[in-house]
Amino acid sequence: MPKLAYVFWHWPRADSEVDAYEAGLLGFHSRLAGIPGLVASVTFRVEGLPWQSEARYEDWYVIDGFDALGVLNTSAVSGSRQDPHEQLAAAAAGGAGGLMKLAQGDISFESGVVRWLTKPSGMTYGALTECLNGSVWQRQLVLGPQPEFCVSGDVDLADGVHTCVRQVLSVDRSRTA
């Protein structure tokens, strides 16, 4: 079964303390253990998202498929996770989400540069894949504002590549398959 990732970009309200916001974020991610179908979660501090300039954080929730997305959606905001989620949501000024599928490579969440890109017009997906190395995630269902691909490796394209720098705040590798 292909791995999917729900990706959520968000930013704190102007009157929110950054340290408290990040502590709430880390606390929330630490409570996600045990959700069926959740493979891994990670949160990044990000710079340079061209489609979401307000976003300062990027959360990735890797799941085992579309059924697991529904379980995550319900489980992340209920039980022992309800209060931490509500507190974090109250401190957020806004956010946007998207759905990605692991199209090539392994699940890899490291600090550093990732590249967001859209398949150039006239190029086949096969030809594009030959230009990409590393962990390649492809947007699904056009649910989010992001470009079509996220690559944490090399990209051999001249145009249409947006660079984003991200720093890992937390990653739960205990569930990573």
What pLDDT digit, counting tens, does each position of 68-114 carry? 999 999 999 999 999 999 999 999 999 999 999 999 999 888 888 89
Q: Cα–Cα distances in Å, from 19 out to 23, 116, 139?
A: 6, 28, 31
Give Cα 97 distance to the centre of its chain: 8
Spell out the domain ranges in the chain.
4-175
Tell me which CATH code domain 4-175 carries. 3.30.70.100
Place of tokens 């990706």: 7
What's the rounded Cα separation, in Å, for the pair 24 and 170? 12
The tokens describing 111, both together, are: 């600090």
Contact 110, 116 (CB under 8 A): no
Please write the tens of the pLDDT for every residue from 20-71.
Answer: 999 999 999 999 999 999 999 999 999 988 888 888 999 999 999 999 999 9
Radius of gyration (Cα) for the chain, nearest Å? 16
Model confidence, pTM = 0.88
Q: What one-character DSSP code corresponds to residue 149?
A: E
